[in-house]
Every structure is written in C-alpha cells, then in structure tokens.
A = this chain, B = another copy of it.
Amino acid sequence: MKCKVTVLDGQKSSEFYVDSGTNLQKAILENGLQINAPCGGRGTCGNCKAFVSGNVSDITNIERKKLTEEEIQSAARLACQTFVMGDATVHIEQKKSAHIQIEGLDYQVDLSPLVRRINISLPAVSLENCKDDTERIIQSIGEKKLKFIPEALSKISNVINGEDQDLVVTCTDDFIIDIGTKLKETSDYGFAVDIGTTTVVGYLVNLVSGKIEDTISEINDQTYYGADVLSRVSYGKENPDGNEILHTKLVEQLSRMLKKIVDKKGISKENICCMSFAGNTIMMHFLMGLNPFRISVSPFTPVTTASLICSAQDLGIEYHPKCLVYLLPSISGYVGADITAGMLACSLTDKDKIQLIVDIGTNGEMVLSKNGELLSCSVAAGPAFDKTISPLVPISTIS
C-alpha cells in the first residue's frame, strides 16, 4: 500500500508517496528534502526531531530518552526511529546553515595548471608541406611527445581545412585533448574545490593571473546522511546502495556548484579548463565512487591514497563531462588530500623552517615538518565536541 506523506517546513509544503513500513528519515532524504541527521540515523543525536501526525509506528524507548515529556505530548518524534504506516503529516524545522569560512591569507604559488591552451598558426598544406594534420600540429607546438586522445582526433576533421589557420590547442603534459579555431579573447579558469565533511567550498581561479575571482560554498549534501565521516561510512555499509547514494549526492553537488559559479560569472563552461578536488580520504573515496569501509576498521586501509587525473565524466560530474580533473593525493586513511593541499600551499617541504599545520574541522589533523621530514596525525573533532552527540572513540593515525 502506498502512503501519502506531507512534509511542512516553514512556508514550504511537499508531498510524496512511500510504501508502508518505510523509515521516515530515509523517505524524506530520498525524496530530495533535507533533515538533519548528524548521527547517521542511529537515534543518538536527536537532531532529526519532527512533529508527526497520522498513521506512523509507535514511539520507541530510544526516542523517549531524547525527547522531553512536553515534546512527546506535542507529537514530537525522531524521524530516524519512525516508520510510515499510512498517510502522515510531518512538520520539520531546519536549522539555519552554518557560516562557512572561505577567506584566508593570500600566498604566492607558481602557476602550473593541469591543462594549457596553446595558440598556433598552421600553414596551408602544399606538396612540400603535406605531412598529416596531427604531425603538423605537434610540430607547431614543438613538443614531440604529445599524443592526441581519440576525441581530439575526431574534431580535427571538422576543424582543419588545409588552408592557413589560427588554432587553439588544449593540452596536458602528455596529451592533446581538444582543438578548435581561435577563441575570442576570454580567460581560462580552473575550479578548485575543498570538499569538507561539513562544507564544500569552490574557488574559480583565473589560470592566467592566478587570482581567485569568485568563490561558492555550500553545506555538504551528504551531511543529511551523517555529520561525521564515520556515520556516513556506516550509512554506506548499512543501506543498500548507500555508498552509491553518497557518491551521487557529492558529484551532483559539485556539478551544481560549478554550474552556479559559471552562470554567476557569466562565462561558458568551456572556459573551465580543469578542476581539482581535495578533501579528507573518505570524501576522496566517496568522490571516486570507492567503498571507504575498510578505512573505518583496523588497520584502517584506504583503497587508494594516490592522486588521479581523469575526466569529470569518469567521476559522474555531468555538467561539464569532458573537463579534466585532478584529485590530490592523500597520506593515509585519516590524513587526507586537503592536508596535502595545505602542505603545498604553505610550502611545508621548505627545509629551512620548523613548521606546523593544524586543521580543525569535522576531523582534526596536524602535520609537523622539520628538515624536510614530515609527521602527521589526526583525531575526531567537530561533532566530537557537540554535546548532543555521544563522543566517538577518537581515532588517530601516525603516518
């Protein structure tokens, strides 16, 4: 039997239908609505409180521990402990989103983007100059080791006509990935994203000047499946397609944020030459669609900590699928690519100084450097200090 669920959130009202016996919190999340679930639906944080009328399962002892007698009288429930048994109406009240710190000190970095645009003038073919198109293009660029990817090859037939032509070639270190007639004078941009457990911050970087021209920040859409990484790992383990859902939520959010910043800036997505992503190791796993479960149990083994260059499409980022993407390397299961990025930005490999990086986020990490030697460790932070959540066992690793 299908049950009608009406969700009221402030001025907004939504309706959807679910099977009898469906978990209320899951139903709300799966229908694109949001409800806080920092503990990942285990009934330990009490943050998914909602006022429910209609045909639902009886209140449990877990809920009685988290709700006051007055709340219970007003029909308050924990959505994660409630099952829809017939038509029901749910009042939820979302907390305002957190303030996200996205500014910091300026620092100088050498620009060396993943992707370069090279302007070339290709002379007309003649009996004396009748080499094939790819060879003439590579000669014009002057880098013999470059190879065409199949898609760039396909474009040549449409672009090159054998006459004198001004062309713009898009290359990585090793490959020619695109070719076209000369663009109007527009800038090339990169989109660099810090994927935090709680917040996702994207930076639109001018790849010619190196300046950050715009930023965008949002609460990580995965937050509704658990506030800390371990809650999300257990959501991934305990729910069918759980990891797939968390992966999809993240890449859809990245896709949406890229579109927003591109639209706001008034540029075309083709102006975005490349993207780079950093985050903790578990976020990097969700991003790549990898199962992070073994990071959560001893001896805390990631699938990979290596860097990766691939297309946005390979990750499932559909808004700009052909865009080249760089995923920074992580260090261990609990010292992630965000720390690698920080070490790079702060020149932590500088041998003349003793330096310490401290990153206190949802997880906390430190890296100490001396004489080019680096020592890192990590510990649960953020929600571990939230009085509404029973403290997690701190996990620390030394790499």
**Residues of A with Cβ closer than 8 Å to B?**
125-127, 129-135, 147-151, 153-154, 156-158, 160, 162, 288-291, 294, 298-306, 308, 310, 314-315, 332-333
Contact = CB atoms under 8 A, between A and B. Distances in A.
A132 B288 contact: no
B148 A299 contact: no
B135 A288 contact: no
Given A127-B299, A132-B333, A148-B306, 20 more contacts: A125-B294, A125-B299, A130-B301, A131-B301, A132-B302, A132-B303, A132-B304, A132-B306, A132-B332, A133-B303, A135-B305, A148-B308, A150-B314, A150-B315, A153-B288, A153-B290, A154-B290, A156-B290, A160-B303, A162-B301
B133 A302 contact: yes
Nearest to A297: B162
A223 B289 CA distance: 45
A382 to B, nearest CB: 24
B154 A301 contact: no
A173 to B, nearest CB: 13
A303 B314 CA distance: 28
B133 A304 contact: yes
A290 B290 CA distance: 36
Nearest 6 A/B pairs, CB to CB? A157-B291, A130-B299, A134-B304, A132-B302, A150-B314, A127-B299
A153 B285 CA distance: 10
A157 B246 CA distance: 15
B148 A298 contact: no
A294 B157 CA distance: 9
25 contacts: A125-B294, A127-B299, A129-B299, A130-B299, A130-B301, A132-B302, A132-B304, A132-B305, A132-B333, A133-B302, A134-B304, A147-B306, A148-B304, A148-B306, A148-B308, A150-B315, A153-B288, A153-B290, A153-B308, A154-B288, A154-B289, A156-B303, A156-B304, A157-B290, A162-B294
A23 B317 CA distance: 45
Nearest to A314: B150
Contacts of A134: 303-306
B130 A304 contact: no
Contacts of A156: 290, 303-304
Nearest to A295: B132
Given A153-B288, A156-B304, A298 B132 contact: no
